[in-house]
Homo-oligomer: A and B are copies of this chain.
Amino acid sequence: MNRNSRKEELLRAASLVVARSGPATLTLDAVAAEAGVSKGGVLYHFPTKEGLILAMIEGEISTFEKLVEEGVAADSRAPGAFARAYVRATVAGMSGNGDGGFCGVAAAFANDEAILARYREQTAAWRARFLSDGLTPGKAEAIRIAADGLWYAAVIGAALPDVEGLIAFEAELLSLAGVGKRKNTKVKA
């Protein structure tokens, strides 16, 4: 099998393990079993567990970032465009796939604080972007933290809004960000 496709398969398997059984159960053996590969095979592609988790985080960040940038492009009405895209990307990532998209961060948190550095600097960058989005600081922080809070709640298993609640939640944050008209409707459903 192709090198990169196998790597991505392993990353997906790792996320699945975290999503299904919690970050404490993310062992190399579990990933191997989930992917139908031996432990040696996992270590061939990711020489250390830290490397595996780091790759998970990197993938999650870039996936999310891509979604956000698409949203910004589709809605560039001046103030709050980034905030709106961020909210939409978060909510979309929530209802979309079951595993969320946060398993790498969860795994890092549970396994080794040091690995979180990458995620932490990313949140700082997003915060800066929020603060220069033309909103008041209060709105910027509130929207960012509410959106992130939804992620965190999903990962930890805290109570989540039901379907209508989620829609209302999104609408509330969008109205806080000033409802920019969207150029088109790329995001499905």
Q: Taking A148-B153, A172-B139 as contacts, is the C-beta distance between A158 and B110 under 8 angstroms?
A: no
Most buried by B among A110, A142, A169, A171: A142
**Docked complex Cα distance between A148 and B151 (Å):** 11
**Docked complex Cα distance between A166 and B145 (Å):** 11
Bits for A119-139, please: 1 = Cβ < 8 Å to B, else 0. 110011011000000001111
Nearest B-chain residue to A152, judged by Cβ: B152
The count of chain A contact residues (Cβ–Cβ below 8 Å) is 47
**Docked complex Cα distance between A116 and B120 (Å):** 24
Task: Name which of A21-29, A37-45, A181-189 contacts chain B.
Answer: A21-29
Nearest B-chain residue to A124, judged by Cβ: B159
Q: Taking A142-B172, A171-B138, A172-B141 as contacts, is the C-beta distance between A109 and B149 under 8 angstroms?
A: no
Nearest B-chain residue to A22, judged by Cβ: B113
A-B pairs with beta carbons under 8 Å apart, 30 shown: A22-B109, A22-B112, A23-B110, A24-B112, A105-B156, A109-B109, A109-B110, A109-B156, A110-B111, A116-B156, A119-B156, A120-B157, A123-B159, A126-B159, A127-B159, A136-B168, A137-B161, A137-B168, A141-B168, A141-B169, A142-B169, A142-B172, A142-B173, A142-B176, A145-B149, A145-B161, A148-B153, A148-B158, A152-B152, A152-B156
| A-B contacts besides A141-B165, A146-B146, A148-B153, 12 pairs, CB < 8 Å | A24-B111, A24-B113, A105-B156, A110-B110, A123-B158, A138-B169, A141-B161, A141-B172, A148-B149, A149-B152, A152-B152, A172-B176
